[in-house]
Structure 1
């Protein structure tokens, strides 16, 4: 019991660096939260988990690694950048074309966006290939293959709390935002997504 509690503290402390790090998933989550509240954050977290659990399993059984797929990082970075650019441009276009943006719905749902922005985020993948892989390895030394489930459960609840909490707070901000300020915020979030898309490309060039 003491062993799992000690390991839980380690996983939670280290996972915070990945869960709460600003990134495209965070920016998109705020965008959805402004319109749909905490439920959009939960959907985003479910989409994130759909990508995260198989990734953890593949790392745990040794099927996936950068050595196995050396070009994977480049491919994910390019696809991720393109996705961010398209999403941001469509969001800006939607904001500028609609007068009542507080009720404007994006074309794809929060769950799908959670999947896309997780699967096509090279920094998320690399975090699990490096920092996350160490946690998985340590867990498997203690609990064998059950360690994969232990790491996932100790980590995933933080995603739900963080994404759900952020989207809830974002929805509350609409009560004090004027339509003009709302548009400015949405455009700002879109520009942040474009920025992350650029960083994806710069990372593979450098």
Structure 2
């Protein structure tokens, strides 16, 4: 299994594919940043992370024992989901945009981060397939590695949302729409490749 550094890098990379994807949490970050400055980004990310702490604990406490009996199935579901999400990310990258016409901003960015996460179906589908499979894989090597995975995952969230809010606070977009789409496309390709590798390991392992 992966070591601590490899786990951290992998979690950050996979987490970035989710953070970059257009969705309500990104919209909340953009809208609030235009009104309240760069500090909105890390606050929204903190609210998002709080929701994921709850999910992480549910996985560790509620699914670990059950998944231990169905390791191959969990890995197969996770690998398949990685490929599907990768393909969807590749498709969406062609028209993805960071622009939003909404002028409303949730008053509390922490609450905005948490609410836009739990209200987003993508959030639950991701965690019930990809997220849970990867966390459980690390958990079999020990709780520390599972926690390191979460730290890497949150590093991607905090890094991206802070980047977005800082960019908007300075009145310019540091990442052009064209480069944003290219980056998202690369993330999608990575998910497909890693998902295929992960799925192969599920069948051969």
TM-score (norm 2): 0.60
1:44 corresponds to 2:41 = no
Query: Which residue does the alignment assign to 2:12?
Result: 12
SS at match of 1:157: helix
Tell me the matched-pair count. Answer: 138
Query: Which residue does the alignment assign to 1:151?
Result: 149
Question: Do the aligned partners of 2:12 and 2:154 also contact (CA within 8 Å) in 1?
Answer: no
Superposed CA RMSD in Å reads 2.7
Question: Structure 1 63/142 Cα, relative in aligned 2: closer, same or farther at 3 Å?
Answer: closer
Instruction: Note the C-alpha offset of 1:3.
Output: 1.6
Structure 2: gaps (5+ residues): 67-99, 173-205
Instruction: Note the C-alpha offset of 1:30.
Output: 0.6
Tell me which structure has the larger Cα radius of gyration: 1
SS at match of 1:142: coil
Poorly superposed stretches of 4+, deviation over 4 Å: none
Query: Which residue does the alignment assign to 1:181?
Result: none
**In structure 2, C-alpha distance between the alignment counterparts of 1:107 and 1:55, rounded to whole Å:** 23
**In structure 2, C-alpha distance between the alignment counterparts of 1:43 and 1:152, rounded to whole Å:** 17
Question: Do the aligned partners of 1:30 and 1:170 also contact (CA within 8 Å) in 2?
Answer: yes
Question: Do the aligned partners of 1:11 and 1:155 also contact (CA within 8 Å) in 2?
Answer: yes
Query: Which residue does the alignment assign to 1:134?
Result: 133
**In structure 1, C-alpha distance between the alignment counterparts of 2:165 and 2:44, rounded to whole Å:** 10
Structure 1: gaps (5+ residues): 66-87, 95-105, 175-206
**In structure 2, C-alpha distance between the alignment counterparts of 1:123 and 1:63, rounded to whole Å:** 20
- Over residues 35-86 of structure 1, what are the superposed CA-to-partner deviations in whole Å (9 max), with x where a residue is unaligned? 1121111111111111111111111222599xxxxxxxxxxxxxxxxxxxxx
TM-score (norm 1): 0.59
